[in-house]
């Protein structure tokens, strides 16, 4: 054995508390894609650990987790799905917390198309409205609640272009396949301002609060990177990033 290798082994033995950098597999609700990417970059710089992000709908992730998908942490778009996973033994008891409360927005890629009171829905001068599958995506369910509260569901529903998740709902609008639609405020925010187009931020009393919970999944128990990621989300640096995308903490 060379003197160099011996020296490395001696150094390792002298630092038993040294934690090796690790990777955490994170299932992330599609609405949280943009802030999650920024958080992951800062997380790696600040901790040495790497967050591998997989984006999708909360309902689809639930099915995948139940079928053994290799996720360590779940960042859902609701609070009920992580709670259900905890009750069923797929998430660590006591690990859940609300990392963000989302806001729903009616958005169009066209400037001036959506007014700041959502009256465009009543006028009905559009062919298609994009909405995420309400059975799988909490933001889609919130959109249905909103239309019900406005007594517009029956009139608008025939014009739905239903997406698998909120990311696809955004794409339908951005590409012009739907003139407008319901998405997460975070998807259309940049530097705390509307990035493009026009929007109506749906009043919070039009639907149930969109509390988004994080949970440590069974596969992530005892994994330093998973624990570090969840702790990082609670920090002031991470919370500032989350708030900049229009979420409430």
pLDDT, tens only, 37-87: 999 999 999 999 999 999 999 999 999 999 999 999 999 999 999 999 999
Instruction: Provide the token pair at 26.
Output: 């994170």
In CATH terms, are 15-101+210-244 and 103-206 the same topology?
A: yes
Tell me the mean pLDDT in the region 96-122. 96
Place of tokens 């272009």: 161
Tell me the mean pLDDT in the region 206-223. 97
pLDDT band with cut points at 50, 70 and 90 for residue 15:
very low
Give the predicted TM-score (pTM) of the model.
0.82
Q: How far apart are CA 181 and CA 160, in angstroms?
A: 9
Closest to 120 measured CA to CA, from 140, 139, 105, 103: 105
Arch. (CATH architecture) of 15-101+210-244:
3-Layer(aba) Sandwich (3.40)
Predicted confidence at residue 204, as pLDDT, reads 92
- Domain spanning 103-206: which superfamily? Periplasmic binding protein-like II (3.40.190.10)
Predicted confidence at residue 191, as pLDDT, reads 74
Q: Is the pLDDT of residue 10 over 50?
A: no
């Amino acid at each position: 054995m060379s003197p160099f290798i011996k020296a490395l082994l001696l150094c390792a033995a002298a630092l038993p508390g040294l934690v090796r950098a690790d990777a955490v597999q994170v299932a992330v609700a599609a609405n949280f894609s943009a802030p999650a990417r920024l958080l992951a970059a800062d997380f790696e710089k600040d901790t040495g650990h790497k967050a591998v992000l997989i984006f999708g709908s909360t309902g689809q992730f639930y099915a995948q987790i139940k079928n053994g998908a290799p996720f360590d942490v779940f960042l859902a778009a609701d609070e009920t799905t992580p709670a259900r996973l905890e009750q069923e033994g797929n998430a660590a008891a006591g690990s859940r917390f609300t990392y963000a409360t989302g806001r729903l927005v009616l958005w169009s890629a066209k400037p001036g198309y959506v007014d700041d009171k959502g009256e465009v829905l009543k006028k009905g001068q559009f062919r298609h409205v994009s909405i995420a599958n309400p059975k799988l995506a909490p933001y889609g369910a919130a959109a249905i609640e909103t239309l019900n509260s406005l007594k517009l569901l029956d009139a608008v529903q025939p014009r739905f272009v239903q997406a698998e998740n909120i990311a696809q709902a955004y794409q339908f609008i951005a590409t012009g396949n739907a003139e407008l639609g319901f998405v997460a405020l975070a998807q259309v925010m940049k530097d705390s301002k509307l990035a493009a187009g026009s929007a109506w931020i749906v009043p919070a009393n039009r639907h149930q609060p969109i509390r988004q919970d994080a949970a440590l999944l069974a596969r992530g128990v005892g994994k330093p990177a998973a624990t570090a990621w969840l702790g990082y989300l609670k920090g002031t640096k991470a919370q500032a990033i989350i708030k900049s995308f229009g979420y409430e903490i």
